[in-house]
């Protein structure tokens, strides 16, 4: 207990419930989006929750001037993970270091309880950043536009490692290239050895080709045991982490509104995807991933995410993955997810603690820069921001690529494989893209503007390719000189698939390349038939 002449910092009591509600009302007014803090019944449940230690700063008169809490067991029960939150200080008490004193009480409990503690610092003001930074919490990423506080707000994810978390950490994580910089910065800030290995092009999980032969739907109680029997491998080779597991049972899953999508083939159950849905924030979280084989895993990811997007229209989907599991990292990256948090030694599994990568698919414009950051937090946050923006740009290009006939029939994952190999290029009015007889072999998609195709000795362009169109696809098949010239009629934005990138695609994903080559061949055959018909009609 922290006491001075004016006030006492102590655990919250039932009699404090009205005072807690008034505290939040005084600080945030009527517009605070988290309305549960005004709900006395919700606050009362927190007072008596065995997994929460909630501290208040009370004047001798009983008036409450501050609040902070530690939520224990926020991960799986074995993880020994706690969260610091609910920090608020009344305006009348600011400048008295009350926030630090409240946080210190919560952190003391967190240190006694577990090996890993974390918090989320708001980016609209720096107070919580300064306080948690002083208590040894290190920035390891961002939660981009995670909360609707009138306008969507980004938070900084910070963590603090206990001694056991450092001792039990499983070293030498293996990550995909887009994760490397964020992981390096996060490990350095937490004073953990930067022992990362990068796997350049891991193979993503494939999906079943014949979608019509499979059914994806919500799990019923009879399927619980059947999925459990598929899940034994995840203890030896975990890929996805979360607060719930199938073995917790139907009652606990229902209590937290945790749901499962099940992949079926006739009577056979091939896997399950566990998720939660936040209707207020329009956020989905994937917390479990179980599949009978690689194709079942790939199908669950691709079809399951498409199902969630169609059913709920989420603006935000998150998933925590193992920093040693590159296939799911790559699969999610190709499906539009960006790495935003790298949390060292966060999850405990069978005697070891694993680094965790939080990956997010943000399905809205990523306007992130309405934030204020202390200098120590800036580098990690900027990398997380860049990852989100680059990934979201790929999401915006997705529809443009899908509309190109050369890519017709590609799955979501295969579209992702193409997107990561495309380069953007802006050409000015009159700029020559290639000349007839030149040796270039790139393929082009027009995002905006218009491109003229010219033949020597022809009066004017033979055709004009506008937004949504493409040209140069035959160059992917042959190494012959260009049969025509191309120049920009106006300033235009292009996507370019260089020949070396297509060669890499052929080597790394022959199934994707085969679909593209088949589409090109179909286009050529169709054009030959048209030419033959024209010749025959003129005879």
User: What is the DSSP secondary-structure string of 3-61?
Assistant: E-SSEEEEE--GGGHHHHHHHHHHHHTT--S-GGGG-HHHHHHHHH-TTEEEEEEEETT
CA–CA dist 458, 165 (Å, integer): 72
Close Cβ partners of 517 (under 8 Å, ≥ 6 residues apart): 476, 477
CATH of 167-392, one of 3.40.630.30, 3.30.1960.10, 3.40.50.300, 3.30.300.20: 3.40.630.30
pLDDT in tens, 15-27: 999 999 999 888 8
CA–CA dist 112, 104 (Å, integer): 12
CB 65 within 8 A of CB 82: no
| Alpha helices for 444-509 (secondary structure H) | 499-508
pLDDT in tens, 39-79: 889 889 888 988 899 999 998 888 899 999 998 876 555 67
CB 409 within 8 A of CB 521: no
Average pLDDT over residues 425-451: 89
CATH of 416-538, one of 3.90.1150.10, 3.40.50.300, 2.60.120.200, 2.60.120.10: 2.60.120.10
Give the per-residue pLDDT at 56.
93
pLDDT in tens, 89-136: 998 887 788 889 999 999 999 888 878 999 999 888 888 999 999 999
Average pLDDT over residues 368-393: 86
Confidence of residue 281 (pLDDT cuts 50, 70, 90): confident
Mean pLDDT of the chain: 86
Calculate the dihedral angle through the C-alpha atoms of 157, 163, 164, 168, rounding to the nearest 10 degrees: 80
Between CA 304 and CA 312, with CA 308 as vertex, the angle to 5 degrees is: 170
Exposure of 96 in the CB half-sphere (CA atoms within 13 A): 14
Give the per-residue pLDDT at 112.
85
CA–CA dist 498, 487 (Å, integer): 18
- 9: pLDDT strictly greater than 50: yes
Give the per-residue pLDDT at 234.
63
Average pLDDT over residues 416-428: 88
Give the per-residue pLDDT at 284.
94
pLDDT in tens, 154-184: 999 999 999 999 999 999 999 999 999 999 9
CB 496 within 8 A of CB 472: no
By percentage, how much of the chain surpasses pLDDT 90?
42
Calculate the dihedral angle through the C-alpha atoms of 190, 196, 198, 203, rounding to the nearest 10 degrees: -90
Nearest partner of 316 among 357, 289, 281, 276, judged by Cα: 281
- 337: pLDDT strictly greater than 70: yes
Confidence of residue 247 (pLDDT cuts 50, 70, 90): very low
Q: Which residue has the tokens 């009629």?
A: 489
Give the per-residue pLDDT at 167.
93
Fill in the DSSP letter of residue 444: E
Q: Within 10 A of 43 (CB to CB), how many other CB atoms are there?
A: 22
Confidence of residue 209 (pLDDT cuts 50, 70, 90): confident
Spacing of C-alpha 536 from chain mean position: 56
| Candidate from 370-374, 417-421, 527-531 with smallest mean pLDDT | 527-531
Average pLDDT over residues 370-387: 90
Secondary structure (3-state) at 257: coil
In b/e form, how buried is each residue of 82-105, taking b as 16+ CB within 10 angstroms?
A: bbbbbbbbbeebeebebbbbbbbb
Give the per-residue pLDDT at 437.
85
Average pLDDT over residues 323-352: 93
Write down the pTM of the prediction: 0.85
Distances 460 to 429, 489, 493 between C-alpha atoms, Å: 16, 12, 22
Nearest partner of 300 among 217, 357, 363, 415, judged by Cα: 217
Q: Which residue has the tokens 């073995």?
A: 247
Nearest partner of 113 among 75, 56, 65, judged by Cα: 75
Intrachain domains 167-392 and 416-538 with the same fold: no
- 2: pLDDT strictly greater than 60: yes
Domain boundaries, the chain: 2-114, 167-392, 416-538
Secondary structure (3-state) at 157: strand
- 477: pLDDT strictly greater than 90: no
- 491: pLDDT strictly greater than 90: yes
| Candidate from 67-71, 83-87, 179-183, 471-475 with smallest mean pLDDT | 471-475
CA–CA dist 20, 528 (Å, integer): 77
- 416: pLDDT strictly greater than 50: yes
- 530: pLDDT strictly greater than 70: no
- 383: pLDDT strictly greater than 90: yes
**The domain made up of 2-114 is a member of CATH 1.10.260.40:** no
**Complete DSSP assignment for 360-389:** EEE-S----------GGGHHHHHHHHHHHH
Token representation of residue 39: 């709900």
Question: Pairing mode, if any, of strands 7-11 and 52-59?
Answer: antiparallel
| Candidate from 76-85, 137-146, 314-323, 528-537 with smallest mean pLDDT | 528-537
Between 525 and 69, the more confident residue is 69
Secondary structure (3-state) at 354: strand
Nearest partner of 271 among 332, 319, 207, judged by Cα: 207
Give the per-residue pLDDT at 135.
92
- 285: pLDDT strictly greater than 70: yes
Between 499 and 358, the more confident residue is 358
Average pLDDT over residues 522-537: 67
Distances 350 to 120, 168, 261, 325, 441 between C-alpha atoms, Å: 28, 10, 27, 16, 52
CA–CA dist 160, 81 (Å, integer): 10
Give me the residues paired with residue 213 across strands: none
């Amino acid at each position: 207990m922290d006491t001075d002449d004016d006030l006492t910092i102590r655990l919250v009591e039932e009699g404090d419930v009205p005072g807690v509600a008034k505290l939040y009302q005084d600080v945030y007014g009527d517009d605070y989006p988290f309305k549960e803090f005004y709900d006395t019944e919700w606050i009362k449940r927190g007072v008596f929750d065995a997994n929460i230690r909630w501290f208040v700063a009370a004047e001798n008169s009983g008036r409450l001037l501050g609040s902070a809490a530690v939520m224990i067991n926020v991960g799986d029960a074995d993880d020994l993970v706690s969260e610091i939150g609910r920090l608020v200080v009344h305006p009348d008490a600011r400048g008295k270091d009350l926030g630090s004193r409240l946080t210190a009480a919560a952190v003391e409990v967190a240190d006694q309880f577990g090996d890993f503690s974390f918090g989320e610092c708001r980016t609209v003001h720096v107070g919580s950043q300064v306080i948690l930074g002083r208590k040894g919490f290190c920035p390891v990423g961002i939660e981009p536009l995670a909360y609707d506080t009138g306008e969507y707000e980004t938070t900084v994810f910070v963590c603090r490692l206990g001694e056991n978390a450092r001792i039990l950490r499983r070293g030498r994580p293996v990550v995909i290239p887009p994760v490397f910089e964020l992981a390096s910065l996060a490990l350095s800030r937490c004073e953990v050895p930067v022992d990362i290995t990068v796997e350049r092009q891991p193979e993503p999980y494939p999906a079943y080709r014949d979608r019509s032969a499979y059914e994806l739907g919500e799990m019923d109680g009879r399927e619980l045991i059947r999925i459990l029997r598929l899940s034994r491998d995840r203890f030896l080779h975990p890929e996805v982490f979360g607060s719930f597991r199938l073995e917790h049972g139907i009652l606990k899953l229902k209590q937290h509104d945790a749901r499962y999508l099940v992949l079926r083939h006739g009577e056979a159950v091939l896997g399950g995807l566990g998720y939660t849905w936040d209707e207020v924030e329009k956020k989905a979280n994937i917390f479990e991933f179980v599949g009978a084989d690689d194709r079942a895993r790939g199908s669950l990811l691709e079809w399951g995410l498409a199902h969630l997007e169609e059913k709920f229209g989420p603006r935000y989907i998150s998933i925590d993955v193992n920093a040693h599991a590159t296939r799911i990292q790559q699969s999610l990256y190709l499906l539009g997810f960006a790495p935003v948090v790298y949390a060292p030694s966060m999850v405990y599994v069978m005697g070891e603690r694993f680094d965790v990568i939080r990956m997010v698919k943000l399905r809205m414009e990523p306007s992130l820069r309405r934030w204020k950051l202390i200098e120590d937090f800036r580098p990690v946050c900027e990398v997380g921001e860049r990852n989100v923006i680059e990934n979201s740009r790929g999401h915006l290009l997705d529809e443009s690529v899908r509309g190109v006939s050369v890519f017709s029939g590609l799955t979501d994952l295969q579209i992702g494989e193409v997107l990561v190999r495309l380069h953007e290029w802006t050409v000015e009015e009159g700029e020559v893209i290639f000349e007839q007889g030149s040796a270039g072999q790139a393929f082009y998609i027009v995002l905006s503007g218009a491109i003229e195709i010219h033949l020597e000795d022809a009066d004017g362009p033979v055709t004009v390719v506008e937004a949504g169109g493409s040209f140069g696809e035959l160059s992917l098949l042959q190494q012959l000189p260009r049969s025509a010239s191309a120049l920009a009629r106006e300033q235009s934005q292009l996507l370019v698939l260089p020949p070396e990138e297509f060669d890499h695609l052929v080597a790394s994903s022959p199934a994707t390349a085969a679909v593209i080559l088949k589409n090109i061949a179909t286009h050529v055959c169709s054009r030959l038939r048209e030419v033959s018909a024209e010749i025959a009609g003129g005879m």
